Amino acid sequence: MKNIVLFASGSGSNAENIILHFRQNKTARVTAVFCNNLNAGVIAKAENLDIPVVLFSKSELNEAIVLHKLQVFRPDLIVLAGFLLKFPDNIIGNYPNKIINIHPALLPKYGGKGMYGMNVHNAILQNKDIETGISIHYVNEHYDEGGLIFQAKIGIEDCVSAEAIALRIHQLEKEHFPIQIEKLLK
């Protein structure tokens, strides 16, 4: 069985969805959730599902302390599920093409530093785009520039708020993210 380690900073809706998916599908299992935010909702969600949580600071991430803690879980794939810090070169170098992220837009549009969550949805709304979507991509040393794995589009011409766009994006994430992870691990 393959091992997945999740990195998350927020509410944990994607992390929870991935954990539950692999509870029913025996291709892989989530062995840990790594989190840099002591107040993140993902902590309670992971603990309620009996998944170990590893808390760390930004400096521990960049000083290779997190790398050493990560190696204990022997990940076959590292999945960023709402993780907001730039991923350090020391982990990327140790896990080439084994780290993926999901982005709430159709990259390369609306990618880069500071483009996450509602910032992305607000930009899409202001630009009056008629469609958006999700991008699942490999993580490299630059924000949102790793090779694309998968994209899914959805129409948003009737959305009048960034929150409405966010709801549609969450549905795409829930539907596609676990399945794409599973495909990568086969």
Which listed residue (21, 103, 121, 137) is catalytic?
103
Residue 103 among the catalytic residues: yes
């990568």: which residue's tokens? Answer: 184
User: Mind telling me the catalytic residues?
Assistant: 103
